[in-house]
A and B are shown apart, each in its own frame.
Chain A
Amino acid sequence: MRLLRLVLLALFGLLLLGCTGSNVRRREDPRLPKLRAMGFRIVVVPFRTSAPEEGFLATALGPVGEVLALEQSGRERGRIEVADSLRGDIVAWLRQSPFEVVEPWVSDTQLAHVGLDRAGMADPQNAARIAAALQVDGVLFGDVERWNRSYYVLQSTAEVGLHLELRDRDGTELFATTRTETLGSGVTGGPTGYGSLISAPVQGLSGNTLRELSRQIARSAALDLGGAQPDAEPSPLLPRLSVVSLVRRHDGPVQPGERIDVLAVGTPDCDVRFDVGRLRSGVPMRAVATTDDARGARTTYEGHYVVQPTDPVAEVPVYVTIERTGQRGTRSRYRWDGSVRIATDRGAKPGR
């Protein structure tokens, strides 16, 4: 009898094991990387929440941590809160990408002035009208398709699904992704004691779990759309530098009219720039030679900054940044192991 109970429990656990994980579907127009690199201005319109209602029991047990639930009472408000929360996450992460994002409050106000209500703003059929009204290159629509907690006594699952759709100013689709993240708690967590047999599934229903999943999903979707994954392992396709150095050591501080000369060797056909601390950022470097041998092709880049009389007295580090030409967002940054001293007529203050 005991054996049968264990077998049944294990079977039930295996059935639910698939409840933790993520599911991603994605379409991208081949023009998008180029458009992104050119500085694509987009508006993120209010999201919809088309997720079905949660089960009554899950809703009742749900607010263990905080309330962000599609509750049956005050239903519309809950849906708007969920949609706005994910929209905020998407906007924050898209601002880390090459896209230029219009302030949501500005776009919401302007769209209200042209007669669009929340449902009208969220409708992808209105993409061309919205783009024309706001003078933007693209419109990003979002739909929270899943926002759900399920409770099966010994197991609970939390699930968030988000659909994003970027449309061009003429209404054609440039990018679409549907992501669903699911987290199971309970018997799938392993051999469970009597106490945690009950408590683990209830803890899994916490509003915090949904919020954590939604933050994760929004971040992944926004970074995917922006063409970058800051937490990802360096890709072999990421441009690299093998050497970063000053062309020549300077005896004493660099004076006005003298040059800070920087050299870098790395992946060919890239946009390479150096920073003199944070004082002068993005000084352009030019490709001066390319060699191709058994170790592969590599290019030498050189650049210089002519110190000006108005520059401050400073001792600053030198950074070199490399990115593929026309592909903003996939960049690598290197710090030269040393610092540059600048001496001008401007009064010295202690550096920090």
Chain B
Amino acid sequence: MRVPALGAVLLASCGGLSHTLHPDVPRPHRLAVLPVQGAAPFVERELARSLLRARLQERGYLVAELEFTDRVLSERSWLSDPETFSPASLPLSEVATAIGVDGVLVVDQFDETRWNALLVRRHALGARFRIVEKDGGEWWQANYTVGVTGGFLLKSGQLLTELLSQSTHGAGAASLDRIDELVEGVAEVLPVDEDRAEHHMPPGIAAPVVAAPVVHAISEGLARVEVRVEAPPGSSVWLDLGDRLRSMPMSGANAAYTGAVDVPADWPPLAVRVRVRGAFGQQAEATR
């Protein structure tokens, strides 16, 4: 009974990279990386996502900023709690259109295996990766597991090496190693976007138009400053009140954005500065 179990464990510990490209599906150039779903700790999933974005940029893709992606997902009620996010039932075509990209990278089943029975130990990370084009076609998919298997049984003779490895097994640095290896490995099999000419970069973003702020008393000693702005639809917009309050996020639909801040009534009138930012980091600002 124990021998088959051990055999199964050893087989399960085998991992590798398999990937498929569908050349009949149009190749996306602008991508968004969705939050990563899986049983691995949230911090690790976040790091993997951020590294994936960096590696995709390195491969020639224009990748939407993560904060921008998350805001758009949240505004459409596709994302509420990032720690329990699941892309399973998302309308991926709609998601791509809303973010302004022509494909989304979906990562799920991001799981970590970490066990140590001294004689045999295993620390592995694996996930499924898919790039879905804005019309819904799956352009590329990969499954990848990276890991280390060790233990005194397998490292027979190398006792000092194994003792050192046991001391670092499953530690934060070891997880970082696995994430780095996983992300690099999977990015390496993704075709380089040779056609990364600047025409994939959207033009600069238009400067916002800021209306005169409206100030009204809301209680004794407190006033509400309300600001209305016209800005390109979908962009991220922030409001500054002089040097006293910086980067208050504003809310908007279509091109009309609003924001409000309650300030002490005795604050002097402050200059209003509004900044807008597009999916790929294009920026503009205006002051009133």
Contacts and interface: CB of A to CB of B under 8 A. Distances in A.
A310 B252 contact: yes
Nearest 7 pairs of A and B residues by beta carbon: A190-B159, A351-B80, A189-B158, A278-B70, A189-B161, A308-B251, A190-B160
B47 A230 contact: yes
B8 to A, nearest CB: 25
B239 to A, nearest CB: 10
Contacts of A193: 156-157
B77 A314 contact: yes
Interface string A97-121: 0000001110000000000000000
Nearest to B75: A312
B58 A104 contact: yes
27 contacts: A89-B180, A92-B58, A93-B54, A95-B53, A95-B54, A96-B51, A189-B160, A190-B160, A200-B158, A231-B176, A278-B71, A278-B79, A281-B71, A283-B248, A304-B261, A306-B259, A308-B250, A310-B253, A311-B75, A311-B251, A312-B74, A312-B75, A315-B80, A339-B81, A349-B77, A351-B79, A352-B77
A1 B182 CA distance: 50
A185 B161 contact: yes
A279 B74 contact: yes
A65 interface: no
Contacts of A92: 51, 54-55, 58, 183-184
A278 B74 contact: yes
Contacts of B74: 277-279, 312, 314, 316
A221 B71 CA distance: 32
Indicate the size class of the contact surface on chain A: 35 or more
Contacts of A279: 71, 74-75
A191 B157 CA distance: 5
Contacts of B180: 89, 215, 219
Contacts of A311: 75, 251
Contact of B157 (A192, A231, A316): A192
A103 B57 contact: yes
Given A312-B75, A352-B78, A91 B176 contact: no
Interface string B16-55: 0000000000000000000000000000000100110111
A304 B262 contact: yes
B81 A277 contact: yes
Given A190-B158, A215-B184, A277-B82, 7 more contacts: A92-B55, A96-B54, A231-B173, A278-B73, A280-B71, A309-B258, A352-B86
Interface string A285-318: 0100000000000000000111011111111110
A296 to B, nearest CB: 27
Contact of A352 (B71, B79, B155): B79
B137 interface: no
Contacts of B86: 352
A301 to B, nearest CB: 13
A310 B246 contact: no
- Which of B85, B159, B176, B262 counts the most chain A CB atoms within 10 A? B176
Given A277-B74, A278-B74, A306 B157 contact: no
A190 B77 contact: no
Interface in A208-232: 212, 215-216, 219, 230-231
B7 interface: no
- Which of A193, A273, A278 counts the most chain B CB atoms within 10 A? A278
Contacts of A306: 224, 259-262
B220 interface: no
Nearest to A335: B83
Given A215-B177, A308-B258, A280 B251 contact: yes
Contact of B77 (A91, A284, A317, A351): A351
A74 interface: no
Contact of B247 (A188, A216, A278, A284): A284
A349 B76 contact: yes
B245 interface: yes
Interface string A73-94: 0000000000000001101110
B73 A281 contact: no
A91 B157 contact: no
A197 interface: yes
Contacts of A281: 67, 70-71, 249
A252 interface: no
A27 interface: no
Contacts of A305: 248-249
A12 to B, nearest CB: 14
